[in-house]
Structure 1
Amino acid sequence: MPAAPRDLHGHLCIVLRENDVAYGTWHLSCGRKQETIKVRGALSSNDGETALVWALDGHGVLMRSEWDVYPHLRSGALEIVLPEWSLPGADVHAVHGERLNASAKVVAFVDFLAEWFGHAGGQAMNMRTWIPQGD
């Protein structure tokens, strides 16, 4: 189990290719300390679900948002790596038409989303690095 970000160099990581992010580059922070780590691994995908299946099958360390892997964390299929380190946040926006602005259903749904994603004081639920249980 990695004890520090640099220890990820000794582990196979599953790289998720997203947008224009540099391939295999993970940005981590712990308080004011920030580190950028270049990870390696045999598997990469631009599909988060595929990468998650690979992690669940034990093929490496995966960086995913907590809300995306929460059921697997809760069941014990995945466990957190480097719990004191955070990854960049993933903004979630609720977009709706102007005429729906005053709708009670829209307000209730947005309130539900804010609670579901752990929104508190402008801080959404942290992203974390996950590894299959037992690795």
Structure 2
Amino acid sequence: MIALEDLRFVVALSRTGSLSAAARALDVTPPALSMRLKKLEAVLGVNLVVRNSRGLRFTPEGEQLVHEAQSLLARVDGLADSLSGGAFAGPLRVVAPFGFGRIHVAPVMAAFIRDHPQVRATLDLSETPWNSNVEADVVIHIGTVRDSSWVAHLLARNARWVCASPSYLRRCGTPSHPRELAQHACLSVRESEEDVTLWRYKSSRTSSRRSEALRISPALTSNNGEVVREWAVAGLGIALRSEWDVAPSVKRGELRRLFVEYEFEGADILALVPTRRGVSARVSHFVESLKTRFQPKPPWRSI
């Protein structure tokens, strides 16, 4: 007999591509999941996955099970909504970046739960939310999307600004062109799939709008954007950061925005929803709540 836990397991395995990653997502050990897989294959009498040097892939029977599991789990998760007479009920799993999630997503979730107390919400904050998205209903992502298995809902346009503190600029001088950054201490955020030392920009004053790129050699690097911003505020160098992150510091005078006549490659803020899972009413309503917070003007442009 197949249990709901088996269905959630195969969906998690299909999303991560490995037993170890699925085990982390489900908070169990890899040996326990390996045993569950063997038992499930024995019950069904078919092989569900094939292991190779690059990981594992699902067999046709495994792919069919994943498809059916996603459909059934969507119906189960939506059952609470349908039985509650129109009220929103059931689980809501959201993954978001640490800083943005804490400042901007957590308040939306708090208000959402106050309005819909039957929803059981979980907010997981991660440096790499897209890589921590197993079993998530909504993933807040900043940047481009290269995975067609997600539907992207635009929450806000988000420019990237080059900033430095007044103390750093007094000490080291103010560069007038991006090419001059090669002579300055640059601060970099290490992110999962981005080439973070290649800063792309284009002039907003020329008709060609041709994009150029500058390779920096970071003086300091961190995987945490808030740390990099604070380094910049402390006068340790020049940082390329999201507008949402540095706009308050620029407003307070802690940082100065450089190269205002140039546009650096932006990173839009998106709410990602899985395409292969039925979307419950509570998920759709939560995404609309996010849009209400960030549109037509996001909070960092109202300070």
How many residues are matched?
118
Letter in 1 for 2:191: E
Cα 1:106–1:37 change in 2 (3 A) is closer
Q: Which position in structure 2 is the counterpart of 1:2?
A: 175
Aligned-residue CA RMSD (Å):
2.3
In the alignment, does 2:293 pair up with 1:117? no
Letter in 2 for 1:62: A
Equivalent residues in 2 for 1:89-128, closer than 5 Å: 89-95=266-272, 97-100=279-282, 103=285, 107-117=288-298
Instruction: Find the partner of 2:193 among 20, 23, 33.
Output: 20
In the TM superposition, residue 94 of structure 1 has moved relative to its aligned partner by: 2.9
- Matched residues in 2 for 1:49 and 1:101: separation? 29
**Which structure has the highest helix share of the two?**
2
- Matched residues in 1 for 2:239 and 2:287: separation? 34
In the TM superposition, residue 30 of structure 1 has moved relative to its aligned partner by: 1.6
- Matched residues in 2 for 1:94 and 1:23: separation? 22
Equivalent residues in 2 for 1:27-106, closer than 5 Å: 27-31=200-204, 32-95=209-272, 97-100=279-282, 103=285
Task: Check conservation: 2:249, 2:255, Cα contact below 8 A.
Answer: yes
SS at match of 2:295: helix
Q: Which runs of 5+ in 2 are unaligned?
A: 1-173, 274-278
Length-normalised TM-score, structure 2: 0.36
Letter in 2 for 1:113: F
- Matched residues in 2 for 1:3 and 1:67: separation? 24
- Matched residues in 2 for 1:61 and 1:112: separation? 30
Task: Check conservation: 1:94, 1:110, Cα contact below 8 A.
Answer: no
Length-normalised TM-score, structure 1: 0.75
Q: Deviations over 1:72-125 (max 9, x none)?
A: 00000001111111122212123565313664x75354122123438xxxxxx8
Cα 1:102–1:26 change in 2 (3 A) is closer
Q: Which moved more, 1:109-118 or 1:39-48?
A: 109-118
- Matched residues in 2 for 1:73 and 1:18: separation? 23
Q: Which runs of 5+ in 1 are unaligned?
A: 119-124, 126-135
The structure whose RCO (Cα within 8 Å, separation 6+) is larger is 1
Q: Which position in structure 2 is the counterpart of 1:132?
A: none
Task: Check conservation: 1:5, 1:35, Cα contact below 8 A.
Answer: no
SS at match of 2:266: coil
Q: Which moved more, 1:78-87 or 1:26-35?
A: 26-35
Q: Deviations over 1:51-88 (max 9, x none)?
A: 11110100000000111111100000001111111122
